[in-house]
């Protein structure tokens, strides 16, 4: 009896489930210590050995300057400018990098089940990009990575639809349900008529999504509370210029993006700061910019954002969080209040809630007409996101499994695929 894998390849975490037409094997332990949830992290050591998940983090922390770490690769899928990167002597495309992770997942699951599974149901965002061409590029790249990983049949299911498959059995009667999936890289929404009956295409009343989620909130903390210690606000004035110059906005965007900063090379940093260092208005910025070069040169960006993420998590439960990062001679310590975090990330919250509201508009419904709101994903736990949701939906909110709703729903969809062929 043919088996199919269900893979939730996430920006932050990845999971794998397995099903055949008659049986759901559940989540497969793909972590090196048997865990079912893996951080979507890759690390290439100088020995040309690749590590994944928690093991990749451990190896990186032991020798950050002797390898390459990759995080949030999913974020680059719709980015046409990302073509390839050099990892020691090997030139790799984005599908090549993602294929390494998917191949690891497939091989470990094959070993666990003692099968050679070649069919996969992959989750994907509702929208990789607002640009249809970029969205299709992302799907093509993800499919290419899956095929390179050893899969011969690949199908996709939007992640909010998958979360709905997981939520469906809890319903006792037909209801209008909003599924809100808040991930690390994207926020996705779908409005559906749901009951115990099998899904039909007409039951999906609307689906929207955008590339704003957990990583953007990490970037907000970086931009407003951490990056100034690395010269992000440095001002300089060339002798022949009449105006004071600042770093280009594009450079600051990369500096405050976990995925982009980790990928940034020393040369690209130097191109942006070479002139600035000669004509700085504040002599203290010289040291700050040297800290930035060191951060990039010694590949400590992941370690920095790891601490930022911990501060963000702390701010989900407390009114004030403490950020601390030390790497001699760098020593950055600051306090971040929940109110200040809410203020500096307000534009992202507005974009996410605006996308949710568009989903309701496209469905032709008002918030009071929704019967149930099913939340999944860690970003839904941010207090100011939760407040916006309560304002719109009151006690209609219910939280599904934070990490495994999508992969469980993908398993249900995969069984349907195996049984019907569609």
pLDDT above 80 for 1: yes
CATH number (domain holding residue 87)? 3.30.420.40
Mean pLDDT of 180-207: 89
Q: What is the pLDDT of residues 309-356, one digit of tens each?
A: 999 999 988 999 999 999 999 999 999 999 999 999 999 999 999 999
Residue 352 lies in a domain: no
Mean pLDDT of 154-170: 90
The least confident of 97-101, 246-250, 292-296, 391-395 is 246-250
DSSP 290-326: HHHHHHHHTT-HHHHHHHHHHHHHHHTTSSEEEEEEE
Residue 328 lies in a domain: no
Mean pLDDT of 88-107: 96
80-87: Cβ within 8 A, 24+ apart: 80/134, 80/137, 85/263, 87/44
Distance CA 227, CA 39 (A): 25
Per the structure, how many domains does the chain have?
1
pLDDT above 90 for 201: no
pLDDT above 90 for 223: yes
Q: What is the pLDDT of residue 54?
A: 94
Residue 1 CB coordination number (10 Å): 7
Residue 83 lies in a domain: yes
- The highest-confidence range among 240-249, 288-297, 345-354, by mean pLDDT, is 345-354
% of the chain beyond a pLDDT of 90: 77
Angle between helices 214-221 and 301-315 (to 10 degrees): 100
pLDDT above 80 for 280: yes
Q: If DSSP codes are grouped into helix, strand and coil, which group holds residue 336?
A: strand
Residue 155 lies in a domain: yes
% of the chain beyond a pLDDT of 70: 99
Mean pLDDT of 2-21: 97
State the chain's mean pLDDT as an integer: 93
Residue 376 lies in a domain: no
Q: Are 92 and 85 in contact (CB under 8 A)?
A: yes
The closest of 125, 109, 28, 120 to 74, measured between CA atoms, is 125
Q: What is the pLDDT of residue 95?
A: 98
Parallel, antiparallel, or unpaired for β 175-182 and 187-194? Answer: antiparallel
Residue 195 lies in a domain: no
Residue 282 lies in a domain: no
Query: Helical H runs in 316-380?
Result: 338-344, 346-363
The least confident of 9-23, 78-92, 307-321, 399-413 is 399-413
The least confident of 16-20, 80-84, 163-167, 177-181 is 163-167
Q: What is the pLDDT of residue 47?
A: 82
Which residues on adjacent β-strands are paired with residue 321? 336
Q: What is the pLDDT of residue 63?
A: 86
Q: What is the pLDDT of residue 196?
A: 78
Write down the pTM of the prediction: 0.92
Domain span at residue 118 reads 4-160+404-420
The closest of 95, 200, 92, 107 to 143, measured between CA atoms, is 95
Residue 325 lies in a domain: no
Higher-scoring residue by pLDDT: 26, 264 = 26
Mean pLDDT of 14-41: 93
Higher-scoring residue by pLDDT: 197, 189 = 189
């Amino acid at each position: 009896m043919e088996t199919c894998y269900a893979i939730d390849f996430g920006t932050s975490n990845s999971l794998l489930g397995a099903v055949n037409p008659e049986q759901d094997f559940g989540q497969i332990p793909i972590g090196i210590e048997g865990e079912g949830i893996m951080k979507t992290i890759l690390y290439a050591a100088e020995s040309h050995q690749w590590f994944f998940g928690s093991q990749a983090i451990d190896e990186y922390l032991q020798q950050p300057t002797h390898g390459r770490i990759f995080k949030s690769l999913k974020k680059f899928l719709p980015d046409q400018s990302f073509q390839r990167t050099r990892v020691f002597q090997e030139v790799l495309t984005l599908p090549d990098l993602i294929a390494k992770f998917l191949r690891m997942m497939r091989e470990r699951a094959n070993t666990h089940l003692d099968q050679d599974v070649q069919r996969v149901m992959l989750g994907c965002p509702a929208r990789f990009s607002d640009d249809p061409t970029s969205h299709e590029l992302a799907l093509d790249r993800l499919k290419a990575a899956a095929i390179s990983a050893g899969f011969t049949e690949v199908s996709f299911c939007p992640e909010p639809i998958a979360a709905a498959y997981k939520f469906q059995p809890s319903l006792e009667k037909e209801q209008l349900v909003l599924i809100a999936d808040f991930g690390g890289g994207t926020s996705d929404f779908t409005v559906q008529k749901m009951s115990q009956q099998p899904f039909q295409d007409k039951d999906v009343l609307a689906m929207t999504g955008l590339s704003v989620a957990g990583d953007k909130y990490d970037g907000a903390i970086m931009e407003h509370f951490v990056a100034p210690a690395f010269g992000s606000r440095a001002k300089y004035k060339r002798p022949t210029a009449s105006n004071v110059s600042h770093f280009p906005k594009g450079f600051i965007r990369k500096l405050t993006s976990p995925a982009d900063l980790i990928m940034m090379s020393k040369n690209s940093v130097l191109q942006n700061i070479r002139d600035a260092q000669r004509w700085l208005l504040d002599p203290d910025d010289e040291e700050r910019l040297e800290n930035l070069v060191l951060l990039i040169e010694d590949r400590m960006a992941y370690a920095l954002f790891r601490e930022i993420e911990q501060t963000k998590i702390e701010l989900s439960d407390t009114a004030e969080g403490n950020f601390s990062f030390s790497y001699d001679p760098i020593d950055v310590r600051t306090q971040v209040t929940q109110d200040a975090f809410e203020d500096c990330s307000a534009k992202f919250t507005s974009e996410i809630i605006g996308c949710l509201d568009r989903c309701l508009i496209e469905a032709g419904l008002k918030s009071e007409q929704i019967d149930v709101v099913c939340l999944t994903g860690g970003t839904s736990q941010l207090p100011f996101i939760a407040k916006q949701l309560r304002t719109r939906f009151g006690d209609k909110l219910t939280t599904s499994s934070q990490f495994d709703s999508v992969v469980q729903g993908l398993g249900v969809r995969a069984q349907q695929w195996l049984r019907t062929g569609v």
